[in-house]
Structure formats: C-alpha cells, structure tokens
C-alpha cells in the first residue's frame, strides 16, 4: 500500500498505538520492517509513536535515486532520465526530481563534449575556457528548463522553511550544475559566478542542518579546485565578486565525498573529479586508485576504462598519462 503523506502515517500511528499497547505495538513495527521492503516507510512512521519524528525518509538517501545515478555512471542517460522523471511525477512537490532530470542532461553533455576526461582536464585552455565547439541545443534547452523549475520550486519551499534540508540539497545541486554549465559548456564564466556563490552558500547551510549530506562536498570541491587553477589575475577578479578558489581545499573536499559512505549519489563523480585533479597535480597513484575503483564498480563504462588505461604505467615503467 502506498501512503501519500506523513500526515496519514501520523494519524494511523496514533490510532493503532492507542489500541494495541506497547508490546503488541513493538511487534507490529518489527514485523513490518522485516516482512516486506514496501512497508519500511510506513513502519518508520509508526515507530515514531508520538508523531514528533514523523517524516518521509530523507531524499538524500533514496534507493530509486541511487539506481538512477548508477544508470548515469553506466552512460545510460535516457534510462536515468526516465527514472528521475518517474520519481518526480510521484513526488511533484520535491524539487530534487527536476534537479536530477537536469543532471541527466548535463552529464550527457559532459560525456559528448569530453569534459570528464584527462585530455580536457590537462589542457589549461580547455579547462579554464570551456569546450571548443557549441553546446548541444536540445540538451541545453532541456537542462535549462528543468534546472530553472527546480530552482524556483526549491526557493518556494525555503520561503516557508528556510532550513529545509531537502530544498537546500536540491538547490545546492542545481546551482552547482548551472555554474558548471555556464563555465565549461556555454563559456560564460562571469555569469557562472552567481551560481557558484549560491551553490557554496546553500551547501554550507545544508552541512549545518543535515547530519551527513556529503554529496554537497562535490559542488564545493569542484568549484574550489577549478577556480584555484585560474591565473592569479582572474582569481583576484573573482575575489572581488565574492568567489574564492583553493585547489588544496577543493581536493580535500572531493576526497571526502569520494571516500564517504554518506555520499549516496555523487561519490563516483567525486572519484572521477579527484582522479582528474590528482593527474593535474602529478599524483598518478591517486588517479589510478580512483579509476580502478570506478572500473571495478562500473565495468560497462568505457570512459572509466579508457582513462585508467591512459593513467596506467606501461611495461618500461613510464606512465602513459599525458
């Protein structure tokens, strides 16, 4: 049975607990948790008892969304997009569905344009100036529409509850993606600054109010590292605009997300970013370790295998990495 809201769970909990007593109550909740995964959400509501902790499970740890991200890492963009859109339709008031729909578009664009490769990351002109050719018009249109709707919905939620972790999480992701799109794909670096600041601000608030949202460190780490790679005069301009970059800090933040069991969605992405950053910093051992883990987890992803081959030393002991 699907329960539409926490309010219905609360009403049911109050009614049943009053009729069953403590012993029978505990047996009921335990049986529901073990008998069928479909009952887990309801059982969590029931176990709250007095209604003080009644809430739907956190969207920062959702099995369906994890499955969608695994599809992205397997380069199955259409399937991931379909799953995210279905999740969104079942939860029309959650901005994260729209944010992840946008993520599927941006990940596909990154893949098509070779952004997440060592060839791109080791080329200062490309990394700091964006892709060579024009963006894909259809993907850009889809991405912009989903990202703007997600941003609007998240802000509406935050108007009523300024520290709503679900809205902050969705907003951190969508602002970070918009910054990446403007900086790397559309080559509109100055316009990306607003979204960088917002991603940073919302990530910091999220880390204060939620227990372990380590996915947020991916947005912080990526921004810190890429901005930290800019020439000094460009970084000075960004400092005036309130955007700070720090390569070492960015690597630490990516490393935290890459190794955290609480980074449920973006841990593989953090590993790839960490691998590419380590390659730039002439630390091939870290690069190989991260890529080996990615290949083991996603053997069907040819991109991960190709990057590992480039980063693996050849027989004479000389690295084949650029």
Question: What CATH number corresponds to the domain at position 71?
Answer: 1.25.40
Q: What pLDDT is recorded for position 71?
A: 95
Within this chain, do residues 24 and 167 fall inside the same structural domain, yes or no?
no
Q: What pLDDT is recorded for position 204?
A: 86
The answer to whether 150 and 98 have CB atoms below 8 angstroms apart is yes
- The full DSSP string for 207-244 is HHHSS--TTHHHHHHHHHHHHHTS-HHHHHHHHHTT--
Say if 104 falls within a structural domain: yes
- Between the alpha carbon of residue 64 and those of residues 84, 183, 210, the distances in Å are 8, 30, 20
- pLDDT single digits (tens) 272-299: 999 999 999 999 999 999 999 999 999 9
Within this chain, do residues 24 and 125 fall inside the same structural domain, yes or no?
no
Within this chain, do residues 36 and 124 fall inside the same structural domain, yes or no?
no
- pLDDT single digits (tens) 26-41: 444 344 433 443 444 3
Say if 15 falls within a structural domain: yes
Q: What pLDDT is recorded for position 34?
A: 38
Within this chain, do residues 305 and 208 fall inside the same structural domain, yes or no?
yes
Beta bridge partners of 313: 319
Within this chain, do residues 136 and 270 fall inside the same structural domain, yes or no?
yes
Say if 190 falls within a structural domain: yes
User: Is the sign of the CA dihedral 307, 312, 315, 318 positive or negative?
Assistant: positive
Within this chain, do residues 35 and 164 fall inside the same structural domain, yes or no?
no
Distance CA 167, CA 173 (A): 10
Domain that holds residue 241: 63-311
CB atoms within 10 A of CB 240: 7
Say if 56 falls within a structural domain: no
Say if 321 falls within a structural domain: no
| Stretches in the chain below the pLDDT threshold 70 | 1-58, 60, 232-245, 314-322
Into how many domains does the chain fold? 2
Say if 319 falls within a structural domain: no
């Amino acid at each position: 049975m699907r329960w539409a809201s926490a309010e219905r769970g609360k009403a049911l909990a109050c009614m049943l607990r009053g009729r069953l007593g403590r012993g029978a109550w505990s047996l009921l909740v335990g049986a529901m948790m073990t008998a069928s995964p479909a009952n887990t959400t309801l059982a969590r509501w029931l176990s709250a008892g007095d209604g003080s902790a009644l809430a739907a499970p956190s969207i920062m740890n959702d099995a369906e969304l994890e499955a969608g991200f695994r599809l992205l890492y397997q380069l199955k963009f259409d399937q991931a997009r379909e799953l995210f859109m279905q999740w969104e339709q079942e939860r029309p008031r959650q901005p994260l569905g729209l944010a992840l729909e946008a993520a599927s578009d941006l990940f596909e664009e990154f893949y098509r344009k070779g952004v997440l490769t060592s060839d791109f990351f080791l080329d200062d002109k490309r990394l700091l100036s964006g892709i060579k050719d024009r963006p894909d018009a259809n993907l850009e249109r889809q991405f912009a529409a989903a990202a703007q709707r997600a941003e609007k919905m998240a802000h509406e939620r935050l108007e009523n509850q300024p520290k709503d972790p679900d809205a902050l999480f969705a907003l951190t992701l969508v602002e970070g993606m918009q910054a990446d799109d403007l900086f790397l794909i559309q080559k509109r670096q100055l316009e990306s600054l607003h979204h960088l600041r917002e991603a940073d601000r919302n990530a910091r608030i999220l880390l204060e109010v939620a227990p372990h949202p380590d996915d947020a460190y991916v947005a912080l780490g990526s921004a810190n590292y890429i901005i930290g790679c800019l020439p000094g005069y460009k970084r000075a301009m960004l400092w005036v605009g309130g955007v700070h970059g720090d390569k070492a800090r960015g690597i630490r933040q990516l490393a935290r997300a890459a190794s955290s069991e609480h980074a449920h969605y973006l841990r593989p992405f953090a590993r790839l970013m960490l691998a590419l950053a380590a390659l730039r910093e002439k630390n091939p051992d870290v690069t190989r370790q991260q890529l080996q883990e990615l290949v083991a987890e996603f053997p069907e992803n040819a991109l991960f295998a190709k990057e590992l081959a480039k980063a693996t030393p050849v027989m004479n002991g000389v690295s084949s990495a650029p």
